[in-house]
Structure 1
Amino acid sequence: MEARCKVCVTGASGYIASLLINKLLAKGYTVHATLRDLKDESKVGLLKSFPQSQDKLVLFQADIYNSVDFEPAIKGCEFVFHVATPLIHEPASQFKDITEASLAGSESIAMYCKKAGTVKRLIYTGSVVSASPRRVDGIGFNDVMDETCWTPLNDSLAYLYHDAYLKDYIYSKTVTEKYMLSCGNNENGGRLEVVTLLCGAVGGDTLQSFTPGSVAICISHITENAMGRKSLQFVQEFLGKIPLAHVDDVCEAHIFCMESTSSINGRFLCASSYVSLKEIANHYVLHYPEFTVNQEYADGPKKDMKWGSTKLCDKGFVYKYDAKMILDDCVKCTRRMGDL
């Protein structure tokens, strides 16, 4: 199948997408990869440095804010990985915020998948922030965090938002995921299968030339990254604990969902560990005594939240990295970049 199969990956230069493309090329797939700007030599150069890229990689310029660009990249593909997501709003655009832009881009991508007539499965890279186990009234948590949890998009959680960026991101990922799942319903036209993978805080090494933002957040206990520590604190307050996922496991989960020979659709939480701020702090205290661990945000949640998701593993997927391995690889990555 690999030798003749074309796949599309949006947001190709990102932390997850770049490693995913490298893995797909290594397996023999032809990859249509989209970038916002084909004149950006740093991003183009990274992708063209991958083995097999000369014969198996085709680059396309496409932007969520101009979603008609995605049609040529999707044409002829059997599988589409929609990884791209807007993070900073472009105020000069026709959209009022990143939620509107993300939704419009996803609507176009889903439409082009159906129009192509060749796409069997659309895999959307979601985020655990769309699956908060907090109750609809914002007071307290449900008993477990699993795929039945949906973040309440009302004012009950407004007190948790540290700034408008967090609120915009959460709304964007939640609204977009709900739309993507609706595209897999038979009554909405066609046999397109849709999978949403809700990734936890992603750590590990990188193919990029800088420390990814999510890695910097994961090691913020031992750096002066106050914003990173606030982000971790927010995730714990929002989700009960912090779901961790290694970038290698995340990419393998995407490929697993693509290569599944049986029908697969719906949402899947993707994280191998569910830990507290205190557990992360204790790991660094125990294994990295050369660093001073910031204890400011190291208090654990008052409720012992449980991780109730087994859907991905029930399908046969196996995680290779636990919390210790994820955090250790974050330290290695940041040291290699000279940021620690």
Structure 2
Amino acid sequence: MTDPALQPPGPVVVTGANGYIASWLVKGLLERGFNVHATVRDLRDPEKTNHLGAVARGCPGTLSLFRADLLDPAGFDRAMADSTLVFHTASPLIVRNVEDPKRDLVEPATQGTMHVLDAVNRTPSVRRVVLTSSIVAIYGDAADLGDIRDDRFNESHWNTTSNARHQPYSYSKTLAERLAWEIASKQERWDLVVVNPGLVLGPGLSPHTKAEGVLVMRDFGNGYYRFGVPDLEFAVVDVRDVAEAHMRAGMWPHASGRHILVAESRTLMEIGAVLRSRFGDVFPFPRRTVSSTAALMLASRRGIPQSVAKRNLGYPLRFDSSRANDALGMNFRPPEESIVDHFRQLLDDGLVKPMARR
């Protein structure tokens, strides 16, 4: 499909620009010649900024870094000056061992969204905001699929089963997206477009990312699943495709609404089989699916409540991503490509090592 995107005048803002998805977004924007205003929480931390400087070298676009904190009401004003397009990707991502759901997830996600969009309302040049939401704003647990009339989740569905005690990360993403739509509805100058990616896999641009997909892949390499994996299914999408979808959502004139970004679903056992077929037996990849009892024990060891595990173990997970295909022209990479490229990158960065070298 021909790319109808046009470069908007003025800079483009990316919040949380050092993140796993956002780093690829920044790279793509710079390669297309955009002038990017990238916000990070700590400009003095080289782990947060060095890789952004590296991707900017040799690109036709320019990169400017700004300090901004989600909890600072005026923290995004400087970065947003004269911009026409804002990508709000910044949000806390803590799925395991959440200590204080309200403090660590709900407040930064919702207040951060409010502060960014308040800054948008104070910046008369902004015409569009792209929000990085998630499929967890569409569903809470895989068991929810049995409660809808469709055979798969689509953009009309909302997560109604998560709360601050059950799936707090999913709850925070749901509240943040609902708040964004509410704020957008109260004005007419700028429009809101939302992307809802699944479990994001694929190579990262920084070895320091703590995204959930990275942690999942490291679990395969470090032997956590050597005795078997739980019967869990994940809706997979490649990080490079997610970045591309963001750019199309931001620049394609008729983009609107929500967009599920999912290639296909894969079980942990299927992911392990892909890794074994490509990287052999020098890693302790799983060969079986463990019993429900063992899976519940594994969940508890990871700080995942058994109530969550019970509503996801053994349940299928299906999504309709046709809207992203039709409206944004997306053609997603197969999960196998994302899995292999991701693990190869972890190898290159020394984050996983073959058993023979241990």
What residue in structure 1 maps to residue 20 of structure 2? 15
Match for residue 307 of structure 1 among 297, 319, 334: 319
Deviations 1:106-129 (A, max 9, x none): 112112212211111111111222
Match for residue 73 of structure 2 among 67, 71, 81: 67
Residues 1:32 and 2:37 aligned together: yes
The 8 Å contact of residues 134 and 141 in structure 1, kept in 2 or not, is answered as: no
Equivalent residues in 2 for 1:256-271, closer than 5 Å: 256-262=248-254, 264-271=255-262
Give the residue type in structure 1 aligned to 2:280: P
Residues 1:278 and 2:269 aligned together: yes
Secondary structure of 1:67's aligned partner = coil
Secondary structure of 2:21's aligned partner = helix
Question: 1:181: Cα distance to partner?
Answer: 2.0
Match for residue 193 of structure 1 among 176, 191, 194: 191
What residue in structure 2 maps to residue 244 of structure 1? 236
The 8 Å contact of residues 162 and 171 in structure 2, kept in 1 or not, is answered as: no
Q: Distance in 1 between matches of 2:193 and 2:290?
A: 35
Give the residue type in structure 1 aligned to 2:241: D
Secondary structure of 2:235's aligned partner = strand
What residue in structure 1 maps to residue 348 of structure 2? 336
The number of aligned residues is 316
Deviations 1:90-120 (A, max 9, x none): 98xxx74521222112112112212211111
The 8 Å contact of residues 9 and 84 in structure 2, kept in 1 or not, is answered as: no
Secondary structure of 1:107's aligned partner = helix
Q: Distance in 2 between matches of 1:323 and 1:298?
A: 25
CA RMSD of aligned residues (A): 3.1
What residue in structure 2 maps to residue 220 of structure 1? 219
Q: Distance in 2 between matches of 1:126 and 1:40?
A: 26
Q: Which has the higher contact order (CA 8 A, sep 6+)?
A: 2
TM-score normalised over the length of structure 1: 0.82
What residue in structure 1 maps to residue 330 of structure 2? 318
The 8 Å contact of residues 131 and 150 in structure 1, kept in 2 or not, is answered as: yes
Q: Distance in 1 between matches of 2:70 and 2:200?
A: 22
Q: Distance in 2 between matches of 1:279 and 1:329?
A: 16
Shift in CA distance, 225/278, structure 1 to aligned 2, threshold 3 Å? closer
